[in-house]
Amino acid sequence: MSPFLRLLLILALAVLVWWVVTSYRASRGTTGTTFTPVEDLAPEVRNTIDAALARGELVGAIRHYRAATGAGPKESKAAVETHRWKSGA
């Protein structure tokens, strides 16, 4: 088998694997992280998260968010960091 044909087959296999993986992820709905924005939470929860961020306690703010929403660590971190970015803290 010529080296060019072998390279072409490897490239075709890589594209096929990429297509299968992306199709599988899209069918499962795992294409991104979804979360409830901090702004949509109750005012007392939002104030607690803001106070923790003001003290520089990112992990504490994430814990408060998780306790209030029951979200996972990835979603909680994304929500709190997005809120921190929006508020300019």
Q: How far apart are CA 7 and CA 73, in angstroms?
A: 42
pTM of this structure: 0.62
Instruction: Provide the 8-state DSSP code for 31.
Output: S
For the stretch 18-69, pLDDT in tens is: 999 988 887 776 556 678 899 999 999 999 999 999 999 999 999 999 999 9
Those residues with Cβ within 8 angstroms of residue 8's Cβ, 6 or more apart along the chain or in another chain: none
Classify burial at 80, counting beta carbons within 10 Å of its beta carbon; exposed 0-12, middle 13-18, buried 19 or more.
Answer: buried
